[in-house]
Amino acid sequence: MSQNPANEDIRPLIDTLAALTKDWMQSIINALQLYRRVIDIPPPHPDYPLPVEFPFSNLTQAFNWVQTFDDSSQVRRAFRVRLEYYEGRADRWEPLVWSVYSGNIVLGSFQLDRHIYANQALKIFIDPIFILGNLVYAISIRQTLIISTRIAMSESLVGRHVWNEIIEIHPAPLVECGFRKRVQPTAANTCHDFVQASLIFSDASCLA
């Protein structure tokens, strides 16, 4: 990584690096969407832009550009960005985390509740487009994007307790992106009779 001049404000550097990283990820998303429409075969294929293990593996990309301060002052910049996947411990139900950083600069992170990942009935496909799209959003808001679940109990009109399994996106304003109701308590990873129509999404781009 290039050395900064004394007293230099690094915020423009981070802004440029974040923009380049988002463009890189978006270009991969665009390519994947094109291949999905045109090539009716599963990856890998010769033009596939990612390791076949992704999103459950890491990526690295180098960025180089020349920053101009005035008519006579230029600095060549070189940064290496890493997208790293943290699996967490399944026995502790730790979340799955994808983090994008360069050196000690964290550009964005995406955290997915393991119950959502384990519950295939939710129809949330953990594929490269899903992960990269959420990371692009996380980098845009400069915060960790978290998709989580929680159980809240309420009472129905007939007097029975209803357990509401709520899927949430943090931070606000995307607070609650879906819910489903159960008349019996259930863990997210064991419910197989989920009806897709019962999910109400606040942002369709976040949950595919």
More confident residue, 201 or 29: 29
Q: What is the pLDDT of residues 116-157, one digit of tens each?
A: 777 755 556 678 888 999 899 999 988 898 888 777 776 666
152 vs 192 pLDDT, higher one = 152
Q: Using the CB atoms, write b or e for 101-140: b if 16+ within 10 Å.
A: bbeeeebbbbbbbbbbbebebbebeeebbbbbbbbbbbbe
Dig out the tokens for 114 from the structure: 């393991």
CB 97 within 8 A of CB 88: yes
For the chain, give the number of residues: 208
Q: Averaged over 63-81, what is the pLDDT?
A: 83
pLDDT tops 60 at residue 92? yes
d(CA 74, CA 77): 10
Beta bridge partners, 148, equal 168
**pTM for the model:** 0.72
pLDDT (0 to 100) of residue 165? 65
